[in-house]
Structure 1
Amino acid sequence: MESGKQQVNGVGFFQMPLHYPRYTMKDYSDMPEWKLDRLLAEYGLSAEGDLDYKRRFAMGAFLWPDFHGVNQ
């Protein structure tokens, strides 16, 4: 069974991993496909698609917008 996914009395549920990934855009751009697959699977996300799609998906899912310089 994939990490993060569990069964209790036949009912499946997702348990969020303890740590949020702390990768930069460059890290995702250079990350090998197997590592992207593991990262996405750990969070219960689909690893379907080509390497470019997986990289863009991971960046969209895990990178927060840069709010520096925005008036508050």
Structure 2
Amino acid sequence: MSGIGCSNSGYAAMAGVLRSNGQQQGSKRESRCCSFQMPLHYPRFKKSDYESMPEWKLDCLLNEYGLPVTGDITQKRKFAMGAFLWPSQE
């Protein structure tokens, strides 16, 4: 299994400091925040990894990609496998 972090602080810090043209944000108009931050890497877990992944780790993974973190552990596993596994990996 590859490791994942539970915090988007690196992404949020970078997005909060720089605008697309590289200038610092200063005005209230420019301090809007979006709720979706695309992580740099696609998860590289196998089906067996998702089946044995603890709930807290599934929550972190889904939260990192801005996906819903609701339901019981079985629903979260099924959702994560549907979202991140290619048909050939199932």
TM bucket (normalised to shorter chain) is: 0.7 to 0.9
In the TM superposition, what are the counterparts of 1:1-72 in structure 2 within 5 Å? 3=8, 8-66=30-88
Residue 11 (structure 1) shift: 4.3
Percent pairwise identity: 56
Structure in which a larger fraction of residues adopt strand: 1
Structure 2 contact 51–77 (Cα < 8 Å) conserved: yes
Q: How many residues align?
A: 66
Tell me which stretches of 4 or more aligned residues in structure 1 moved more than 4 Å: 4-8
Unaligned runs of 5+ in 2: 1-6, 17-29
Query: Scaled by the length of structure 1, what TM-score is found?
Result: 0.78
The two structures, once aligned, show a CA RMSD in angstroms of: 2.2
Unaligned runs of 5+ in 1: 68-72
Query: Scaled by the length of structure 2, what TM-score is found?
Result: 0.64
Q: Which has the higher contact order (CA 8 A, sep 6+)?
A: 2
